[in-house]
Structure 1
Amino acid sequence: MRIHVACLLAVGLLACSTSRTQAPDAPAPATEGPLPFIADDYGRALEEAKARGLPLFVDTWAPWCHTCLSMKEYVFTDKALARHAGRFVWLELNTDLPQAAGFQEKYPMDFWPTFFIIDPREEKALVRFSGSATVAQLEKLFEDGERAWRGGAQGAEARLARGDALYGEGKPAEAAEAFAQALAEAPADWSRRGRTLESLLAAQYGAKQHEACARKLLEESPRVPRSASLANATTWGLGCALALPPESPARRELLRSAEARAQEVLAPPAIEMPPDDRSGLYEVVVEARKALQDEAGMKATAAEWLGFLEAEAAQAPNPEARTVFDSHRMLAALTLGEPQRAVPAIEQSERDLPNDYNPPARLSSLYRTLGRLDDALAASDRALRKVQGARRLRVLSERASIQMDQGRKDAAVATLQEALAYAQALPKAQVSPRQREALEKRLAELKAK
């Protein structure tokens, strides 16, 4: 598992990618692949799980989430998963759609993608797992979910199951304690050590135990073999160090140590993991070097990162898979001070995927950075014709910035008022109070100018 820090740090960009944007209120087609996913119908999936006496596996995703799309294009399509089709009832849920609001109210989530394994008898989350996973990691997740479903685990396995249940209930601090106990009790060669460390650091991040999270990475990672789990845990741990406030006495030391650990993980021999995961590790290294005021190191890593992304995109089997890399290509190019380098790829994505709002939304930001304000506004128009859910607020906010750059304060005020009205109309589970407050603050500041 790994959650990409683009979705955590955000940096004001559309941080993730998709190819499956639908018209409002329309369910997405089920993923084509070896697992029989039901699309965007929790009620139907729940009843089927009850009728078949099986736990329910839920993939919650969003059209803006490049990690979600990476899972869809590079992992859930793997034929090796076909042998697991009968273990669960499978549901994929696009959280941009209004019909997902009920599920989100029942099972709040902070990171995308998040996978749930649910006991349909009580609608209780047995496992809640945030981020990406390889096939092998998914298979461990399946085993852990079934073990929790059956009950009877002992020792470290029982601690892990308890941590999963607590995290599923939205209790990250208590979950972190259970995961830490599992690591403490487990034998050195425990096969769940990497998976448990990932879950522990995710829970600590969610509980805002950022210093403990970064220190736990440094303490436990030497005990985890070189693997996708190690890479994912390193991303979490370095992300925790980055989340420490600048005035924290431990921040600089933890950033240096965790960044050095990340460099070891990126170094040869290459760990087998999805390219999207490797890209996320590059991202936190770039952010760490920026925080450490190492501009030369930041630029060098960004150049290496962008070269990696361009090579991976060139090998992508289809346009959907290629757009997995768009948001990070944009971020790496901006870090290098070369935004134009990302423009042709994202323009190609818009041509290839005309129903996807992400390419024009990203282009509006890139064009604005390049001073092409009329092109930026036109791209914003194209994105707004397609975008829905909370992501529409981001597109409207960027549009207001374009209008301000054009010297059109009244138009920018009207756009932010439109965004606030839209935010008020969204289900509460699909837009956070922090998003509304940020829009209100920005509108007030703009009116005061």
Structure 2
Amino acid sequence: MRIHVACLLAVGLLACTTSRTQAPEALTAGGEGALPFIEDDYGRALAEAKARGLPLFVDTWAPWCHTCRSMKAYVFTDKALARHAGRFVWLELNTDLPQAAGFQEKYPIDFWPTFFIIDPREERVLVRFSGSATVSQLEKLFEDGERAWRGGSQGAEAQLARGDALYGEGKPAEAAEAFAQALAEAPTDWSRRGRTLESLLSALYGAKQHEACARKALEESPQVPRSASLANAMTWGLGCVLMLPPENPAGKALLGKLEAKAREVLAPPSIEMPADDRSGLYEVMVEARKTLQDEAGTKVIAAEWLGFLEAEAAKAPNPEARTVFDSHRMVAALTLGEPQRVVPAIEQSERDLPNDYNPPARLSSLYRTMGRLEEALAASGRALEKVQGARRLRVLSERSAIQADQGKKEAAVATLEEALAYAKALPKAQVSQRQREALEKKLTELKAK
């Protein structure tokens, strides 16, 4: 399980901020999957869980989140999950929608997707985990949720359950201590070691203990088998070290060691993991090279990354699965200085998914980078016809930048003012103060020009 560095560092274009859309049926997390998800109705799911005496499994997702879409396209559709249908009541929540605001106020979400297993009797979180998962990783998560539901765990399992509960309560520092204790008490071959390390690193990140996170990734990784969990631990570790301030004396050494481990993970023999996870590891490696101001090294990794993504997209079973790779293809191509290389693919995504705002929003940014400003403005308009919620703020901000590039200052100012007015009307749980402040700063700078 993992969460992409775009969510960690906010480096990905059009990634990892909340939004709302009238999403097409094909993008719902339940879709034609193997589990009987209730869609976007927490009250109904909670009542059903209470009536049936079962814990509640919640998948919080968003249409802009490529990892969420990867889960939908490659995991939740796996028929091997069907045998677990009776273990929980299942709920998927599109956090772009206004009806999800109440859930987000009760259970704040920092990373997408985030999975919750909730005790419906007290609405207490038993397990909270952010990132993607394979079928086998999900099955371990199910077992951990049921163990916490029943109670009575001992040793490392008890510490893992305590960490999960603390993380669910929004106490990442205390959760990290429990996860670390679980690893210390567990035998070397403990089947939960990889999952616990990922939980520990995400909790340390959430507690802003970035140096401790990077060090733990290095310290604990030798005991984790060569697996998706090991790859995800390297992604978390690199993401954490990239958050360290430049003046931190340990930063460069930690970065070098984690980079070396990440290269080992990507080297043969190939680890079985979702393509989206492998792509996330490439992404942090690109950011690491940028941090070290190694332009040549950055482009070498970006070229390998883009080649990998193009190959994965070519064998995707359908347009929804293929579009999982669009945002990372775009970032890799921009890093290479070759935006035109991905334009045809994203234009195809817009044709294939006419109700999805992501392709025209991405095209707007690509066209602007290429100096095709009229096409950029038109693509922005197409995205605005479909997008609402906090994601609309990003599209409006990009539209204002296009108008400013065209020399249309008054229009650019008006667009930012529209974005700010819209931001003030959104539920607080679905737009951050940081987003509002960024828009205000941009508007002030634009007016001053």
Shorter-chain TM-score: what band?
over 0.9
Distance 1:229 1:328 in 2: 21
Quote the offset at 1:343 in angstroms.
Answer: 0.3
Q: Residue by residue, what CA displacement relative to the aligned partner does 1:129-188 show, whole Å, maximum 9, x if unpaired?
A: 000000010000000000000000001100000000000011111100110011111111
Please tell me whether residue 106 in structure 1 is matched to residue 106 in structure 2: yes
Give the counterpart letter for 2:357 in structure 1.
Y
Corresponding residue for residue 223 of structure 2: 223
Q: Residue by residue, what CA displacement relative to the aligned partner does 1:102-155 show, whole Å, maximum 9, x if unpaired?
A: 000000010000000000000011111000000010000000000000000001
Does the Cα contact within 8 Å between 1:117 and 1:128 map onto a contact in 2? yes
| Identical-pair percentage | 87
Please tell me whether residue 341 in structure 1 is matched to residue 338 in structure 2: no
Q: Normalising by the residue count of structure 1, what TM-score does the alignment of the two structures yield?
A: 0.97
Corresponding residue for residue 355 of structure 1: 355
Corresponding residue for residue 314 of structure 1: 314
Q: What SS does structure 2 have at the residue aligned with 1:86?
A: helix
Instruction: Give ranges in structure 1 of 5+ residues lacking alignment.
Output: none
Distance 1:205 1:47 in 2: 34
**Aligned 1:73-88 pairs, distance under 5 A:** 73-88=73-88
Does the Cα contact within 8 Å between 1:128 and 1:167 map onto a contact in 2? yes
Corresponding residue for residue 3 of structure 1: 3
Distance 2:23 2:205 in 1: 34
Quote the offset at 1:9 in angstroms.
Answer: 2.2
Does the Cα contact within 8 Å between 1:305 and 1:332 map onto a contact in 2? yes
Quote the offset at 1:73 in angstroms.
Answer: 0.4
Corresponding residue for residue 42 of structure 1: 42
Quote the offset at 1:12 in angstroms.
Answer: 5.9
Corresponding residue for residue 182 of structure 1: 182
Distance 1:99 1:362 in 2: 26
Does the Cα contact within 8 Å between 1:420 and 1:439 map onto a contact in 2? yes
Distance 2:21 2:308 in 1: 27
Distance 2:143 2:273 in 1: 20
Distance 1:43 1:328 in 2: 35
Moved over 3 A (4+): 27-30
**Aligned 1:46-195 pairs, distance under 5 A:** 46-195=46-195
Corresponding residue for residue 253 of structure 2: 253
Quote the offset at 1:29 in angstroms.
Answer: 7.7
Corresponding residue for residue 287 of structure 2: 287
Corresponding residue for residue 244 of structure 1: 244
Give the counterpart letter for 1:300 in structure 2.
V
Superposed CA RMSD: 1.5
Corresponding residue for residue 383 of structure 2: 383
Quote the offset at 1:96 in angstroms.
Answer: 0.2
Q: What SS does structure 1 have at the residue aligned with 2:60?
A: strand
Distance 2:119 2:29 in 1: 25
Corresponding residue for residue 208 of structure 1: 208
Q: Residue by residue, what CA displacement relative to the aligned partner does 1:191-211 show, whole Å, maximum 9, x if unpaired?
A: 110000000000001111000
Q: Residue by residue, what CA displacement relative to the aligned partner does 1:200-247 show, whole Å, maximum 9, x if unpaired?
A: 000001111000000001100011000111111110011001111111
Q: What SS does structure 1 have at the residue aligned with 2:342?
A: helix
Distance 1:207 1:404 in 2: 38
Does the Cα contact within 8 Å between 1:16 and 1:67 map onto a contact in 2? no
Corresponding residue for residue 422 of structure 1: 422
Count of paired positions: 445
Does the Cα contact within 8 Å between 2:101 and 2:427 map onto a contact in 1? yes
Counterparts in 2 of 1:314 and 1:229: CA distance versus 1, 3 Å = same
Distance 1:378 1:39 in 2: 33
Give the counterpart letter for 1:435 in structure 2.
Q
Does the Cα contact within 8 Å between 2:30 and 2:72 map onto a contact in 1? no
Does the Cα contact within 8 Å between 2:16 and 2:112 map onto a contact in 1? no
Quote the offset at 1:285 in angstroms.
Answer: 0.5
Counterparts in 2 of 1:12 and 1:160: CA distance versus 1, 3 Å = closer
Q: What SS does structure 1 have at the residue aligned with 2:233?
A: helix
Please tell me whether residue 268 in structure 1 is matched to residue 249 in structure 2: no
Distance 1:12 1:314 in 2: 22
Distance 2:30 2:277 in 1: 24
Please identify, of 383-392 and 289-298, the stretch whose mean Cα deviation from structure 2 is larger: 289-298
Distance 1:170 1:33 in 2: 30
Counterparts in 2 of 1:104 and 1:16: CA distance versus 1, 3 Å = closer
Distance 1:298 1:170 in 2: 36
Quote the offset at 1:6 in angstroms.
Answer: 1.8
Distance 1:186 1:333 in 2: 43
Distance 2:29 2:335 in 1: 36
Distance 2:261 2:195 in 1: 18
Does the Cα contact within 8 Å between 1:357 and 1:383 map onto a contact in 2? yes
Give the counterpart letter for 1:183 in structure 2.
L
Q: What SS does structure 2 have at the residue aligned with 1:57?
A: strand
Quote the offset at 1:447 in angstroms.
Answer: 1.4
Distance 1:215 1:30 in 2: 38
Q: What SS does structure 2 have at the residue aligned with 1:247?
A: coil
Counterparts in 2 of 1:373 and 1:267: CA distance versus 1, 3 Å = same
Counterparts in 2 of 1:2 and 1:28: CA distance versus 1, 3 Å = closer
Give the counterpart letter for 1:401 in structure 2.
A
Distance 1:44 1:30 in 2: 16
Does the Cα contact within 8 Å between 1:16 and 1:324 map onto a contact in 2? no
Q: What SS does structure 1 have at the residue aligned with 2:58?
A: strand
Q: What SS does structure 2 have at the residue aligned with 1:115?
A: strand
Give the counterpart letter for 1:193 in structure 2.
R
Quote the offset at 1:364 in angstroms.
Answer: 0.2
Q: Residue by residue, what CA displacement relative to the aligned partner does 1:300-353 show, whole Å, maximum 9, x if unpaired?
A: 110000000000000000000000000000000000010000100000000000
Distance 1:64 1:23 in 2: 10
Distance 2:350 2:233 in 1: 34
Q: What SS does structure 2 have at the residue aligned with 1:76?
A: coil
Does the Cα contact within 8 Å between 2:23 and 2:356 map onto a contact in 1? no
Counterparts in 2 of 1:302 and 1:3: CA distance versus 1, 3 Å = same
Corresponding residue for residue 434 of structure 2: 434
Does the Cα contact within 8 Å between 2:12 and 2:331 map onto a contact in 1? no
Distance 2:57 2:226 in 1: 28
Q: Normalising by the residue count of structure 2, what TM-score does the alignment of the two structures yield?
A: 0.97
Give the counterpart letter for 2:431 in structure 1.
V
